[in-house]
Structure 1
Amino acid sequence: MNAVTAEDLLDNAARTLAPDPADNALVPLIERGEAPRETLAVLALEQQWVIPADRTAFRHLADRADPASAAFFAALAAGEDLAEHRLSAFARACGVSPERSRTYVPRPGCQAYPAYVAWLSLNASPPDAVVALTADFSAWGGCCARIADGLRTHYGFGDEACAFFDLFAEPSPELDARATAAVRAALDTGALDLDLARTHGRLLQAYEALFWDSLRAAP
């Protein structure tokens, strides 16, 4: 029974915390090929800051968590390793040089999201963070699928340059299973505060919206 409840809980969180598509003005521009290439370069540069920050946060959450939640966060941290490797090809396709990467100063609005993920790693109950992050990843994956399509169709980017977005756009049954197991374990022990998890999820969505808005403001 708990297994079904855990799955339903995660599905419901993804639906109720899904952002309003109208809140993201940049992804449709990329999808239609109307975003400047410089904006794509800034996206790559910002992600070069986001990925290592999120990886550290996920590792810390894994260290704090029960075994089921720890397995979920360990998988997320490992995924950031792969994402970092794929991001380098996207950055090169955008014309980002090593020197620009080294000297780039990130935008506060873009880094609010990883800052909150770091906050979660220090303050949130790991099972609550599982729910919040899983709901947010659902929206992020949809954005990545649309971006990958736009990059191929309108910007001439090949598979290697799009691989970063393909990674997040593709379903991950293994990660979904780990999230479900973590929530199931938390339900069994009474360790999940669903109201607080939803609050974390709403804040994550707000900070992600700020990420896209800040990118759109790129010169």
Structure 2
Amino acid sequence: MTDHGAAELVARTRREIAASTTANRFVSMLETGEMPQDRLVWLAGEEYRIVSSDRRSFALLAARFPDSPSGGLFLGLAQGEGQALTLLGDFAAALGQSEKNLMAYEPKPLAQAYPAYLAQRAAFGTAGEVALAMLANLEEWGAYCARTAQALRTRYGFSDRAVGFFEFFAESPPGFEEQALDVIASGLASGDDPVEAARAARLLHAYETAFWDVLADGLP
């Protein structure tokens, strides 16, 4: 499949994901100021484990697929997760939480389905399917992060530094889409199954949705 074919696969997968997307109750409640402060601690605690896991997953992918274009893409993503982990510390500090608190936080099982699935794909999947999953879901994730940052500033009085973690993810890294498309096209040219790749992207989206749902679970 050519680069054009890879772009078509991305567009089709994005449409499939969009058709299954539901309202994000957690972010909506943040925007109205109805989200209790303790749920923000949940957010920090869950993200601490997610980002730590994702950094290792991308490092594993870079080791499994070191050649261009995959190696550069995954190494860059691993480095980005490292930056995000530092920024997360500023958000946690604004909540009065230390790294020790984040380590002691008891994660909610379904909130961790996303990094667990990414780790599974990092160990057993193809470079192309992971690139497709990340690219197809990135715009929605970025939009949620942008809304979260804005709500935390306007509704909860957080500083720009405290919301830096969410601002970091609000926009995709420079050149990411082009790199990811190259990886997808390379994988398809090598025999990757586009049906399996799209399935991985849809599953990753479902697990990301579960993460947000858990954060709002049980609230009126």
The 1:126–1:135 alpha-carbon spacing in structure 2 relative to 1, beyond 3 Å, is: same
- Local SS of the residue matching 1:87: helix
Aligned-pair distance for 1:35? 0.7
Aligned-pair distance for 1:91? 0.8
What amino acid does structure 2 have at the position aligned with 1:38?
D
User: Do residues 78 (structure 1) and 79 (structure 2) align?
Assistant: yes
Q: Which stretch shows the higher mean deviation, 93-102 or 104-113?
A: 93-102
Q: Which stretch shows the higher mean deviation, 115-124 or 21-30?
A: 21-30
The 1:91–1:19 alpha-carbon spacing in structure 2 relative to 1, beyond 3 Å, is: farther
The 1:75–1:191 alpha-carbon spacing in structure 2 relative to 1, beyond 3 Å, is: farther
Aligned-pair distance for 1:21? 4.8
1:125-166: CA deviation from partner (whole Å, max 9, x where unpaired): 111111012112222111101111111110111110111111
- Aligned counterpart, 1:50: 50
- Local SS of the residue matching 2:22: helix
- Aligned counterpart, 1:29: 29
User: Do residues 119 (structure 1) and 120 (structure 2) align?
Assistant: yes
What amino acid does structure 2 have at the position aligned with 1:216?
A
The 1:70–1:218 alpha-carbon spacing in structure 2 relative to 1, beyond 3 Å, is: farther
| Aligned partners of 1:93 and 1:157 also within 8 Å | yes
1:174-207: CA deviation from partner (whole Å, max 9, x where unpaired): 11121122123223x3333211011111111111
- Local SS of the residue matching 2:38: helix
Separation (CA, whole Å) in 1 of partners of 2:157 and 2:29: 15
- Local SS of the residue matching 2:154: helix
Aligned-pair distance for 1:100? 2.1
What amino acid does structure 2 have at the position aligned with 1:37?
Q
Separation (CA, whole Å) in 2 of partners of 1:34 and 1:205: 25
What amino acid does structure 2 have at the position aligned with 1:213?
D
More helix by share: 1
- Unaligned residue ranges in structure 1 (runs of 5+): none
What amino acid does structure 2 have at the position aligned with 1:104?
Y
Separation (CA, whole Å) in 1 of partners of 2:99 and 2:177: 35
| Aligned partners of 1:19 and 1:139 also within 8 Å | no
- Aligned counterpart, 2:167: 166
Question: TM-score normalized by structure 2?
Answer: 0.90
Question: TM-score normalized by structure 1?
Answer: 0.91
Q: Which stretch shows the higher mean deviation, 89-98 or 198-207?
A: 89-98
Q: Which stretch shows the higher mean deviation, 102-111 or 49-58?
A: 102-111
- Unaligned residue ranges in structure 2 (runs of 5+): none
Separation (CA, whole Å) in 2 of partners of 1:12 and 1:4: 12
- Aligned counterpart, 2:7: 7
- Local SS of the residue matching 1:110: helix
| Aligned partners of 2:51 and 2:81 also within 8 Å | yes
Separation (CA, whole Å) in 1 of partners of 2:154 and 2:191: 46
| Aligned partners of 1:14 and 1:138 also within 8 Å | no
Task: Show the 5 A alignment for 1:1-219.
Answer: 2-18=2-18, 20-65=20-65, 66-187=67-188, 189-217=189-217
Aligned-pair distance for 1:8? 3.5
How much is the aligned-residue C-alpha RMSD, in angstroms? Answer: 2.0
Separation (CA, whole Å) in 1 of partners of 2:20 and 2:195: 20
Aligned-pair distance for 1:218? 7.3
